[in-house]
Amino acid sequence: MLVNQFLFLGAILFCIGIYGVLARKNAVLVLMSIELILNACNINLVAFGAMWHANDVSNMSGQVFALFVIAIAAAEVGVGLAIVLLIYRNRQSIDVNDVDLLKG
């Protein structure tokens, strides 16, 4: 089994995610792009896990790791959306460029 298709998919997803994080102004879309990056990683993990242990069904470490990442992503989205919601309440805007209070 070749993993390169999976890796290509992962790389594409990762690049889309990077673009979203760096280029989008909407904070919700930035969060969504971060989800894309995490899922690109998940694909890689599962793919490599399946490749290295194709003959050993009992070893599921890659898949299990992906499950951990999904759980952490859910938590991260929860916190991130709460922050976005509060920013919106205070400023009536969710443009990440407007939130620059730490400017030196």
Partner 1 sequence: MPELLDKVWIVPAIMALSFLIILFFGKRAGTRATAGIGIAAVSLCLLFSVVVAGQWINRVNNPPTGEKLAQDIVKANGLTPQNAEDVEAEANAATHDSGETAATASGTPTVTPIALELASTGAESAAGATASEEHGSGEHGSVPPVVRTVTWFQMGGISFEAGTLVDGLTAMMLITVCIISLLVHIYSTEYLRGDIRYTHYYAFLSLFTASMLFYVMSSNTLQMLVGWELVGVCSFGLIGHWWEEKKNSDAALKAFLTNRVGDMGLIIGVAITFFAAGANSFNVLHINEYALSGAANTTLLLVGGLCLFGGVTSKSGQFPLHTWLPDAMAGPTPVSALIHAATMVVAGVYLIARLYGVFFAGLGIGSSSLHYVAFIGGFTTIIGGLLAFVQTDLKKVLAYSTISQLGYMVMALGVGAWTAGVFHLFTHAFFKACLFLGAGSVSHACHHTFDMREMGGLRKKMPITHATFLAATLALAGIFPLAGFWSKDEILAGASSGQESAYTLMLVFGLITAFMTAAYMGRAYWMTFWGNYRGHAKPHESPKVITVPLIILAACAVFLGFTNFPTNFFGLKLPGGFTTRFEHYVEPTFAFPPLQHAEFTPWLAIASTVLAAAGFFLVYQYYAKNRGPHGLTGRSGLARAGYGFLENKYYLDTIYTDGIAGATKGPLARASNWVNQNVLDGVVNGVGTVARVSAGFVYKDIDQLVVDGAVNGSGSVSEGAGQFLRRIQTGKVQQYASILFAGAVVLAGVFVFVI
Long-range contact set of residues 69-76: C-beta below 8 Å, sequence gap at least 24: 69/38, 69/41, 69/42, 69/45, 70/38, 70/42, 73/34, 73/35, 73/38, 73/39, 76/34
Tokens of 81: 């959306």
| Residues between 33 and 62 that touch partner 1 (CB under 8 A) | none
Q: Write down the residue that tokens 């997803």 correspond to.
A: 13
Of 33, 65, 34, 38, residue with least CA distance to 49 = 65
* Binding region for partner 1 (CB under 8 A) out of 46-54, 70-78, 83-91, 94-102: 94-102
Total number of residues that touch partner 1 (CB under 8 A): 13
Among residues 30 and 38, whose Cβ is nearest to partner 1?
30
Among residues 20 and 62, whose Cβ is nearest to partner 1?
20
| Residues between 6 and 35 that touch partner 1 (CB under 8 A) | 18, 21-23, 30
Q: Least CB distance from residue 37 to partner 1, whole Å?
A: 10
Q: Least CB distance from residue 32 to partner 1, whole Å?
A: 14
By CB under 8 A, name the binding residues for partner 1. 18, 21-23, 30, 96-97, 99-104
